[in-house]
Amino acid sequence: MDIKTQAIEGTVASGEEPWVRVSRYAALTIAVYAVVFQLFAGFSPPVTVIGLMFLAFGVFLSSGRRRLAFASGTVALLLVVSFAAPLVDALTDLASLEAFALNWFLTLTAFVAFIGGIGAIRGESGRLVRPIVGLAVGLFVAGFVVSAVVAAGVEAAEPLAGDSRVVAESMSFVPEELVVGAGSGIWMENRDGLRHTFTVEGTDVELNVPGNSAGRMDLELEPGTYKVICDVPGHEAMAMELTITEGSQ
């Protein structure tokens, strides 16, 4: 009997399978992430379902349930793949610290869960558990520090006299309808921890505002009615109506 076989049998006999334990903790961590995400971004039925699903994985995962550990890890990886567009957007927006940290945390945890599932289904020893978990923690801390430095260097724009004010909060625009005069300025305050844009459909007018910041721009648009959206992936529900009138308001 080789050393690897002895290690595996030892963990099974003691009722402690390290990779199943990794899978359980990763699943519970994703469930906690779902709660924290909604505290920042508002209630989301899909995120609630995801949280409950991984809570179930975490509760029912125990030593010997290697297939369930593999299923949990596979679902975690599929989660990252399914939300690739918003994840990539959040991870490339270092200026929005909260969004970056949450999504970087989710991505690393999902990969740890997947690796845990592979290790569990293969019956691997726990020799690599600490290095892999340590690497994930180190990558998260490094990413967090870089994002914090970038975010600290962002200066929120101040509104000018006569600017029309818009608030982006809880994944919606306030107000939902806005009437402004031609040539007016727009000042948008982003109260969410993630990036939002003020994008006028059918034009090249777009204002990008990092999380917990503010931005402004002059509206160079012809009189008429326009639809304003946030073109960040996953923010499709954010929309408002903008009417440009002749002359100033």
DSSP code string of 22-36? HHHHHHHHHHHHHHH
Model confidence pLDDT, tens digit, residues 92-126: 999 999 999 999 999 999 999 999 999 999 988 88
Q: What confidence tens digit (pLDDT) does each residue in 46-56 have? A: 889 999 999 99
Partners of 172 in beta bridges: 169
Q: Return d(Cα 243, Cα 224) in angstroms, integer.
A: 6
For residue 147, name the pLDDT band (cuts at 50, 70, 90): very high
Please give the domain boundaries of the chain with CATH numbers for all domains: 3-152 (no CATH), 164-245 (2.60.40.420)
Where does the pLDDT of residue 3 fall: very low under 50, low under 70, confident under 90, or very high at 90 and above? Answer: very low
Query: Range with the lowest mean pLDDT among 6-10, 21-25, 91-95?
Result: 6-10
pLDDT score of 148: 97
At residue 10, the 3 state secondary structure works out as helix
Dist CA 20 CA 180 (whole Å)? 59
- What mean pLDDT value characterizes the chain? 89
Q: What is the rounded distance in angstroms from the CA atom of residue 151 to the CA atom of residue 197?
A: 17
Question: What percent of the chain shows pLDDT beyond 70?
Answer: 92
What pLDDT is stored for residue 2 in this prediction? Answer: 43
Residue 84: is its pLDDT beyond 50?
A: yes
As a whole number, mean pLDDT of residues 67-84 equals 94
What integer pLDDT is reported at residue 224 of this predicted model?
A: 94
What percentage of the chain exceeds 90 in pLDDT?
73
Q: Is the pLDDT of residue 150 over 90?
A: yes
Q: At what angle do helices 97-122 and 129-152 cross, to 10 degrees?
A: 170
Determine the number of helices (DSSP H) and then strands (DSSP E) in the chain.
7, 9
